Amino acid sequence: MMRGGARSFSADRKERSAEVDRWLTGLFRTACAMPYAAGGALPGLGGRASAGERGGPSGVALITVGSHGRGELAPGSDLDLVLLHDGREDIGGIADSLWYPIWDSGLGLDHSVRTVHEAAKVARDDLKVVLGLIQARHVAGDPGLTKAMRETVLAEWRADSRRRLGELREACDQRAAARGELAFLLEPDLRDAKGGLRDVQAMQAVAAAWVASAPGPRVREAYELLLDIRHGLHVVTSRGADRLVLQEQDAVAGTLGLMDAEALMRRLAEAGRTIGHAFDSTWRTVDRLLSGPAPRGRRPLADGVVEHAGEVVLARGADPRDDPTLILRAAAAAAGAGLPLAHATVTLLAAQSPPLPVPWPPEARDALVALLGAGRAAVPVWEELDQAGLLVRIIPDWERVRHRPQRSPVHRFTVDRHLIETAAGAASFTRDVGRPDLLLISALLHDIGKGWPGDHSVTGEVVARDIGVRMGLPPADVGVLATVVRHHLLLPETATRRDLDDPVTVSRVAEAVGSRDVLELLAALAVADGNATGPAAWNTWKSSLVADLVRRVRSVLSGSPPPAPVSPPEAALPARHGGCAVRVKQGAVTVVAQDRQGLLWRAAGVLAAHRLVVRAASAASAGATAVIEFAVLPEYGSPPDPATLEADLRLVLAGRLDIEQRLAARARSSRPSRVPVAPPRVTLVDDASATATVVEVRAHDRPGLLWRIGRAFGECALDVRAARVETLGAEAVDVFYVVDRTGRPITDEAQRSQIRDQVLTALR
């Protein structure tokens, strides 16, 4: 049984591998006795020889590599076989009589026929071949040939380890760059992603070169979990898949006896990070051993902490049992020096360090701030503490977010990794705020509420307050920390979903923030949080909106009048004379035209018809001129010619181009998504504006979505006064300030209900 009571398929894989061994042994014996005849039973129908009857004629041997060779044969695994021989003239007939029955069975087969000399020669030049052969397993025939091949290949692998391990490292790096990190992917590749199955096999190859130790028990347990998940995936898909896609995660969780996809992905994240951490540690060992003797001596870094041989270790005489702050002090020293914490040191600290007193002594808090303030260098040190189980001892609430997946394409990382990534990003803003220590701590804790039910900002405020008290922060600082965690989404959500020219917007933010110091912290945290989330969560458009909001709120908090709205750009001039202008530049489309009903959604329809995906949009008006800024991406190819867009927009505004017909034709030709999505939601937000009704629409993004919503508003006789449109991954969050034909907000409940129904109908 696996940890937590989940089902393991390990015995199934071993039995399947043994069954295939028996079948192959029977085929091999038949092929050797009758070189040009095929025979043998299919897997699952009984073999022709027992597991112990693996002998056979001399001068020829059947060996297996890959998952079968390791005894890890899953339902969808292929066979990878090598027929070794000593130069027999009848080897072609033996091979044909062996391979054809395997093909006829429907199993995938990768095969080769080689002498020992040929196998060794290919292994010298082909990394994939040598990695398979150093773990090859004898199935049938002459065991002396198998032994000779393995000894030759292993001896050459070890003798040429400097070159071969460099080649292996390069291949692993390329694979990681192409596939990403398994622990942080929504749809990970279980085999090829960093922290996946191939990384363990690479560590085993390093161990075979006698350069580093073989993977330890924690890595082997994580490896078995990945094998079980892959086995379950093969059962669910009835094929040899390695990528765990979203729509199959619940079913795979069921095969393992887990509650749901989230439970599965949390275990997967933990396994991937365990393997990835061990993988990085292995290569540090390789680098040290292959780069020659390390400089002698010890360089002091902090009280009780020194650098030795390129790692951070404890000084002679330092005793963790009498120094509860030594963990954080050593971690801060390592991050500050840009060096790894020695594994033996972390193990010793985990075994002997007492709990930190509550409240923390000031030196412990200072060490935490110094660790976070090291920026990117803090991330690997933090991971080292996590793998040793030290973080949950330092911050017990960390257990609730540890390895917790974020099932959103916007997020790149699990919750806990996102928190340290945000803190690392916030380190670059410490000179821009009055309280850099509170910035770093609030960055570390801003999503801590995701470990509890409910709104994570609300629960996070409570948890952050408790942690602040535990850390020994003064009451006033605890209040600031709790406020920042509570409102960490206030600036980006307001900037992208509210009209900044509406006085209610700025006054509400100023009231929630309360002081310029908190505003500074929230502004810096918004940038760090957005960058740590991913490119879909932070871009130039959002950055400019947040900066504009901060500028306006700062004025209000200072008692100054709000800044004047930005004047329309020069491109607005043609629109003042009855025309319209379209500008396309670096992923942005600016539309300037005379303000009129339906301009936003008609312009969005033109963009959709030209296969431009709207990722964000902002609409505003100044007098009789409307300016709409679209952030777009071409579905494929290059963006369309601005003149063509402008011409089509003029035709649409003149009623001479039927965009609806074009979009309908596109919809008919597109394939419906197989991935289930949540139903759309339409909310009328009360008290967000005194002069308009705010309508928030959340839906799965698709071509022409903005056009459909805007047309629904038109059918309700509404004008869109301002809009904020944003696409987060595959989800659209669109906010519209609408008024009736007299320019007033919608107060009649029947009409409000009609708006909801009309927009929902358009979305469906």
Sheet holding 311-314, edge to edge: 299-302, 305-308, 311-314
- Reported confidence tier of residue 654, pLDDT bands at 50, 70, 90: confident
Mean pLDDT of 134-148: 94
| Confidence tier at 49 by pLDDT (50, 70, 90) | very low
For residues 594 and 654, give the distance between their C-alpha atoms in angstroms, rounded to a whole number. 12
pLDDT band at 720 (very low <50, low <70, confident <90, very high): confident
Q: Residue 511: exposed, middle, or buried by beta-carbon count in 10 A (0-12, 13-18, 19+)?
A: exposed
Q: Do the domains spanning 162-290 and 570-763 agree at the CATH topology level? A: no
The confidence band for 719, taking pLDDT boundaries of 50, 70 and 90, is: confident
pLDDT of residue 733: 84
Task: Tell me yes or no: is domain 570-763 CATH 3.30.70.260.
Answer: yes
Number of H-type helices and E-type strands within the chain:
29, 15
Cβ atoms 80, 110 nearer than 8 A: yes
- Is pLDDT above 80 for 318? yes
390-445 pLDDT per residue, tens? 999 999 999 999 999 987 778 889 999 999 999 999 999 998 999 999 999 999 99
The string of pLDDT tens digits covering residues 490-549 is: 999 999 888 888 889 999 999 999 999 999 999 999 999 999 998 878 888 889 999 999
Domain ranges of the chain: 10-159, 162-290, 426-566, 570-763
Q: How many residues does the chain have?
A: 764
Structure tokens at 495: 């900037």
| Contact between 36 and 93 (Cβ < 8 Å) | yes
Q: Which H/E stretch holds residue 80?
A: strand 79-85
Alpha-carbon Rg for the chain in angstroms: 32
230-238 long-range CB contacts below 8 Å, 24 or more apart?
Answer: 230/74, 230/190, 230/191, 230/197, 231/9, 231/12, 231/13, 231/74, 231/75, 231/255, 232/9, 232/256, 233/190, 234/74, 234/75, 234/76, 234/77, 235/75, 237/76, 238/75, 238/76
Q: Given this model, what pLDDT does residue 16 score?
A: 93
Residues 6+ apart with CB under 8 A from 647: none
Return the percentage of the chain with pLDDT > 90, whole number. 62
Q: Which CATH architecture has domain 162-290?
A: Up-down Bundle (1.20)
CATH code, residues 10-159: 3.30.460
Place of tokens 């409000």: 752
Would you call the peptide bond into 57 cis, given omega within 30 degrees of 0 as the criterion?
A: no
Nearest to 423 by CA among 405, 445, 407: 445
3-state secondary structure 42-79: CCCCCCCCCCCCCCCCCCEEEEEEHHHHCCCCCCCCCE
| 365 vs 394: CA distance, rounded Å | 11
HSE toward the beta carbon, residue 480, CA cutoff 13 A: 23
Q: Which helix (H) or strand (E) holds 11?
A: helix 10-33
Residue 665: pLDDT over 90: no
C-alpha to C-alpha distance for 294 and 613, rounded to whole angstroms: 54
Say what the pLDDT of residue 495 is. Answer: 92
Going 35 to 39 to 43 to 45, the CA torsion angle's sign is negative
Residue carrying the six token digits 């490119």 = 535
141, containing H or E segment: strand 137-141
pLDDT of residue 54: 42
pLDDT at position 8 is 87
In sequence order, which residues have a C-beta less than 8 Å from that of residue 622 and are 6 or more positions away? 565, 567, 568, 572
Read off the pLDDT of residues 449-473 as tens digits, 9 standing for 90 and up: 998 999 999 999 999 999 999 999 9
Which residue would you say has higher pLDDT here, 406 or 49? Answer: 406
d(CA 547, CA 495): 9
Residue 4 has what pLDDT?
A: 56
How is residue 396 annotated by DSSP?
Answer: G
Contacts of 173 (CB under 8 A, 6+ apart): none
What digits encode the pLDDT tens for the residues 578-611?
A: 567 888 877 788 888 887 777 888 888 888 888 8
Residue 213: pLDDT over 50: yes
Strand order across the 580-585 sheet: 580-585, 588-594, 625-634, 612-622, 719-728, 731-739, 693-700, 681-685
What angle do the packed helices 143-159 and 116-125 form, to 10 degrees?
Answer: 30
Amino acid at 581: A
Q: What is the pLDDT of residue 562?
A: 63
Distance CA 250, CA 261 (A): 4
What pTM, to 2 d.p., does this model score?
Answer: 0.81
In the chain, how long is the greatest CA-to-CA distance?
98
**Percent of the chain's residues with pLDDT above 70:** 91
Q: Which has the closest alpha carbon to 139: 200, 101, 98? A: 98
Q: For the residues of 181-211, what is the DSSP string, one character each?
A: BGGG-SS-BTTTSBTSHHHHHHHHHHHHTTS
pLDDT tens for 240-297 read 889 999 889 999 999 999 999 999 999 999 999 999 999 999 998 898 877 766 667 7
Residue 742, pLDDT score: 86
pLDDT for the residue 207: 95
pLDDT, residue 673, reads: 54
Q: Is the pLDDT of residue 39 over 60?
A: no
